[in-house]
Amino acid sequence: MNLYKLPRHVAIIMDGNGRWAKLRGLPRVFGHREGAKTVEKTIKFANEIGIKHLTLYAFSTENWNRPKEEVEAIMSLLVEYINTKVPSLIEDNIKLRFMGRRKDLPEMILKTVQEGEEKTKNCSGMDLVVALNYSGRAEIVDAVNEIIKSGKKEITEEDFKNYLYLPDLPDPDLLIRTSGEQRISNFMLWQMAYTEFYFTPVLWPDFDENEFLKALYDYQNRERRFGRVTAVE
């Protein structure tokens, strides 16, 4: 692994928990529980190898349309996760932040989220962003509404970026999506203009260090051109 060519920001669409459970004849919730273990290992590994920003797509605004029991199970896993893992995040100097439409989050979830952010706010190591009640289109619309409120008549791309949920978060360099689906599912639409995409058929609960390394190697062997031509022909 070339540690000098690591992506600064890795974003992950953690998909395939339901299928993982179904393959074993288990209810979907078991897949989410197993997926939570992968979350923990992924965070540890990303931190160890020196990824600066890690964004995990945990729950989209569209995911509210799932059966009530499943939504409740995911939410209670999230609360449990934040409440029990914050001490180890602090120990590892990891700062936890949330990205999504906060105003529509149930009171209890919002409170847990804010406590997690508050407790880790002085951590200066890896920046861990959890996308929760997140929609890329909603983020853009929320930004536009804020701009209208500010009275601005014209803006630049740089101004626009400042109205996103986390203005200081750099654009993802690498997006990983597990489970074989090759779509963006409303994730970071503005920020992914020049992100490298990596798709793997591995289901999220089976995504391990080795699979993460494969994605990183793949990224390191790409040439990012940003619309230009190769420097030396």
Please give the DSSP secondary-structure letter assigned to residue 224. Answer: -
Q: Which stretch binds ligand IPE (CB under 6 A): 111-119, 145-153, 162-170, 175-183?
A: 175-183
CB of 182 to ligand IPE, least distance (A): 10
- Over the window 125 to 164, marking each residue x when it contacts ligand IPE by CB under 6 A and - when it does not, the resulting string is ----------------------------------------
For the beta carbon of residue 218, count every other beta carbon within 10 angstroms: 14
Catalytic residue (one of 63, 92, 186, 206): 63
What contacts 74, CB < 8 A, 6 or more positions away?
32, 58, 59, 63
CB of 185 to ligand IPE, least distance (A): 4
| 8 Å CB contact between 177 and 13 | yes
- Over the window 6 to 25, marking each residue x when it contacts Mg ion by CB under 5 A and - when it does not, the resulting string is ---------x----------
**What is the C-alpha separation between 147 and 6, in angstroms, rounded?**
34
Subset of 74-93 contacting ligand IPE (CB under 6 A):
74
- Is 93 among the catalytic positions? no
| 8 Å CB contact between 47 and 58 | no
Long-range Cβ pairs for the range 108-111 (8 Å, 24+): 108/79, 109/75, 109/78, 109/79
216 binds ligand IPE (CB under 6 A): no
14 binds ligand IPE (CB under 6 A): yes
13 binds ligand IPE (CB under 6 A): yes
**What is the C-alpha separation between 18 and 97, in angstroms, rounded?**
26
Question: Residues interacting with ligand IPE, by CB under 6 A?
Answer: 13-19, 57-60, 63, 74, 179, 181, 183, 185
